[in-house]
Structure 1
Amino acid sequence: MIQLRTDWYSLAYKAIQGECPTFEEGLSVLQADDDELLALMDAAFQVRKHFYGKKVKLNLIINAKSGLCPEDCGYCSQSIVSQAPVSKYPLLEKDILVDGARKAMELKVGTYCIVASGKGPTGKELEQVIAAVKEIKATMPMKVCACLGILSDEQAVRLQEAGVDRYNHNLNTSERNFGNITTTHTYEDRVSTVQKAKASGMSPCSGFIAGMGESDEEIVETAVALRRLDADSIPVNFLNPIAGTPLQHMNTLNPRKCLKVLALMRFVNPSKEIRVAGGRELNLRSLQALGLYVANSIFVGDYLTTEGQEAAEDHRMIEDLGFEVELCAL
Structure 2
Amino acid sequence: MKELAAQTLSPWENYASKALAGELLTLEEALSVLQADDNEILSILHAAFRVRYHYYGKKVKLNMIINAKSGLCPEDCGYCSQSIVSTAPVEKYTLLQKDILLDGAKEALSRKAGTYCIVASGRGPTPKELDEVIEAVKEIKSQYPLKICACLGILSDQQAKRLKEAGVDRYNHNLNTSASHYENITTTHHYDHRVMTVEKIKEAGISPCSGCIVGMGETAEQVVEVAYSLRELDADSIPVNFLNSIPGTPLENLKELNPRYCLKVLALFRFICPSKEIRVSGGREVNLGTLQPLALYAANSIFVGDYLTTEGQTIGLDHQMIEDLGFEIEVCAL
Taking structure 1 as the reference length, the TM-score comes to 0.98
Three-state SS of the structure 2 residue aligned to 1:319 is: helix
Distance 1:52 1:98 in 2: 30
Q: CA deviation at 1:100?
A: 0.4
Q: CA deviation at 1:5?
A: 7.2
Three-state SS of the structure 2 residue aligned to 1:275 is: strand
The aligned counterpart of 1:32 is 36
Q: How does 1:287-302 map to 2 (within 5 A)?
A: 287-302=291-306
1:281 and 2:289 aligned: no
The aligned counterpart of 1:179 is 183
Distance 1:38 1:104 in 2: 33
Three-state SS of the structure 2 residue aligned to 1:62 is: strand
Q: CA deviation at 1:236?
A: 0.2
Question: Which residue of the other structure, out of 179, 187, 198, is the alignment partner of 2:202?
Answer: 198
Question: Which residue of the other structure, out of 220, 224, 240, is the alignment partner of 1:220?
Answer: 224
Q: How does 1:1-330 map to 2 (within 5 A)?
A: 6-330=10-334
Identity score, percent: 70
Distance 1:104 1:251 in 2: 31
Equivalent pair of 1:241/1:247 in contact (CA under 8 Å) = yes
Distance 2:183 2:55 in 1: 35
Equivalent pair of 1:301/1:310 in contact (CA under 8 Å) = yes
Equivalent pair of 1:72/1:81 in contact (CA under 8 Å) = yes
Q: CA deviation at 1:18?
A: 1.2
Equivalent pair of 1:5/1:36 in contact (CA under 8 Å) = no
Aligned amino acid, residue 103 of structure 1: E
Distance 1:85 1:214 in 2: 27
Three-state SS of the structure 2 residue aligned to 1:146 is: strand
Report how many aligned residue pairs link the two structures.
327
Distance 1:17 1:147 in 2: 33
The aligned counterpart of 2:5 is none
Q: Give me the CA root mean square deviation.
A: 0.8
Equivalent pair of 1:72/1:79 in contact (CA under 8 Å) = yes
Three-state SS of the structure 2 residue aligned to 1:63 is: strand
- The answer for unaligned runs of 5 or more in structure 1 is none
Three-state SS of the structure 2 residue aligned to 1:113 is: strand
Aligned amino acid, residue 55 of structure 1: K
Taking structure 2 as the reference length, the TM-score comes to 0.97
Distance 1:313 1:128 in 2: 34
Aligned amino acid, residue 114 of structure 1: I
Distance 1:104 1:255 in 2: 28
- The answer for unaligned runs of 5 or more in structure 2 is 1-7
Q: CA deviation at 1:17?
A: 1.2
Three-state SS of the structure 1 residue aligned to 2:271 is: helix
Aligned amino acid, residue 291 of structure 2: L
Aligned amino acid, residue 250 of structure 1: L
Three-state SS of the structure 2 residue aligned to 1:97 is: helix
Q: 1:17 to 1:5 in 2, by over 3 A?
A: closer
Q: CA deviation at 1:55?
A: 0.2
Q: String of CA shifts for 1:285-316, please: whole Å, max 9, x gaps.
A: 01000000110000000000000000110000
Aligned amino acid, residue 93 of structure 1: Q
Q: CA deviation at 1:95?
A: 1.1
Three-state SS of the structure 2 residue aligned to 1:95 is: helix
Three-state SS of the structure 2 residue aligned to 1:160 is: helix
Q: String of CA shifts for 1:44-65, please: whole Å, max 9, x gaps.
A: 0000000000000000000000
Aligned amino acid, residue 132 of structure 1: A
